[in-house]
Structure 1
Amino acid sequence: MTLIFAHRGYSALYPENTMLAFKQAEQAGADGIELDVQLSKDGEVVVIHDESVDRTTNGRGYVKDLSYSDLKRLDAGFRVKTNLKKEPIPSLRDVLEWLTGNKMICNIELKNGIFPYQGMEEKVIELIREYKLEKRIVLSSFNHYSIVHCYRMAPEIETAPLMGQVVYMPWVYAESIRAKGIHPKYKTLKDEVILQSEQYGISVRPYTVNKEKNMAHLIKLGCSAIITDDPVRALRVRHRLEKESK
């Protein structure tokens, strides 16, 4: 069965990368969530996509230049008009603590391509181990050196390189860096790449799949998961296909 991962939580309807978006994804029935992490000025692992807070919050500046208490004061929900309540930027600890109360999988993307946050991998792994969530986490990044570093420190935690371009025989590449999955941009994917990767035991989880016809195509091909802003739509498509195949 193709799993449904909510991209930055249920971000089609709720403020991305907030506890509200993650909880709504769980309520919708998503199998997992995807989120992004960066480091605050004082070294806290915080959940936010951009290197700066300008787009998603009512603040300004780079995450790396703001303390955790500065970041906590910002409203990460103010751009979503239906959101009446302030939504703080969560810490990774907040999310992992919440995950201990459910069975969801969590894909943590390390955002260290622009600013190479010193020690971020160590901090993330330490938190995962503290909450004993090693078996329910997938670590991904466009910075493949970073995920190799994670694998060497914590071979028990699954890694999956993010791929924005076409990679030749990605299942071979994944195996060479000891990754158990790949997270390619869905527009770059050819059907045979999905089939061969999955056949070789490499999980394919394309991002960001929001159109029903693309969801249906990838589910029919047997992708391990799809990453989508709209888990409700994806679950509806999966349910329809399951009924049709009976």
Structure 2
Amino acid sequence: MTTPRSFILCGHRGNMADAPENTLSGFASAEGVGVDEIELDVRTTVDGELVILHDRTVRRTAAVRTPFLDVPIERLTFAQVRGIDMGTGQQIPTFAETLESTSVLLQVEIKAPNAARPLARFLEQRPAADRDRCLITSFDPLSLADFRDEWTGGARGLALHIPDVTDNWRDHADRLELSTVYIPVPQLTPALVAEQHDSGRRVAASLIEGPDDVRRIVETNVDATASNSPAYARQLLESNEEFVARFPSFPADLAKTV
């Protein structure tokens, strides 16, 4: 790993502590508290629009009852999706709207396999400034492979979420030439992180929720983390002297963004 290193604090689905998840207001709120990156989830409608939504349906996240509460997004038209109230008047945004309304790095998770190739084709046509902000992630190696088969250049790289480090994920990491791996905080060890650094990959901790997670981040020497409450996470990180000594630019980054 090169030095000096930078540390990335990501707002998970925006700023879920203060705004509806995966909405433009949530993304704006995340930027307002000084995140370096925003994580979001991409799916497609039946008519091919790339939209931002975590779950397959809106049952958990819709603010008001809708006839489409339990209908999978991939079976709805964009017009139908657009009429769903996600809270505080927010609609389900398109990926294009998200690119146009944000300025920080983006962690773009392929949540549905059928979105991988449309996402690649879409990004290929975007300006370089948009493409270069995007790190393409998934829990599904096949989705990342489909994305890479469709388009190989321009983005910040590919990243795999690894829910269980005892699984056979290293072969996927090598074959897909991943730039980053996401590992649950409880499964992080200094040896595992050092191994991935030696392989040229960054390691992100998922997710930071309290002071103990910050200690683990420092002990294992990871490069990034995400939080549902990024303002609180930033306070925790900045209060840890060893973390600040390792990443001296991190406190200064907030002054540039707020």
On whether the aligned pair clears a TM of 0.5, the verdict is yes
2:152 corresponding residue in structure 1: 154
Contact 1:32-1:105 within 8 A present in 2 as well: yes
1:7 corresponding residue in structure 2: 12
1:81 corresponding residue in structure 2: none
Contact 2:159-2:178 within 8 A present in 1 as well: yes
2:38 corresponding residue in structure 1: 33
Alignment of 1:95 with 2:72, yes or no, is no
- In structure 2, the residue corresponding to 1:13 is in which secondary structure? coil
1:101-154 deviation per Cα after TM superposition (whole angstroms, max 9, x unaligned): x2x110111112xxx42xx22321233331422221111111101112222322
1:219–1:71: structure 2 CA closer, same or farther, 3 Å change rule? farther
Contact 2:119-2:147 within 8 A present in 1 as well: no
Alignment of 1:125 with 2:114, yes or no, is no
> How many residues end up aligned between the 2 structures?
231
TM-score (structure 1 length as normaliser):
0.85
2:214 corresponding residue in structure 1: 215
Give 1:60-75 correspondences, 5 Å limit: 60=69, 61-75=71-85
1:146–1:67: structure 2 CA closer, same or farther, 3 Å change rule? same
Code of the aligned partner of 2:190: D
Cα displacement (A) at 1:31: 0.3
Code of the aligned partner of 1:105: L
1:151–1:21: structure 2 CA closer, same or farther, 3 Å change rule? same
Code of the aligned partner of 1:156: G
Q: Where does the alignment leave 5 or more consecutive residues of structure 2 unmatched?
A: 1-5, 249-258
1:233–1:198: structure 2 CA closer, same or farther, 3 Å change rule? farther
TM-score (structure 2 length as normaliser):
0.82
Root mean square deviation of aligned Cα: 2.1
Q: Percent identity?
A: 22
Contact 2:111-2:138 within 8 A present in 1 as well: yes
Q: Where does the alignment leave 5 or more consecutive residues of structure 1 unmatched?
A: 78-84
Q: Distance in 2 between matches of 1:126 and 1:173?
A: 23
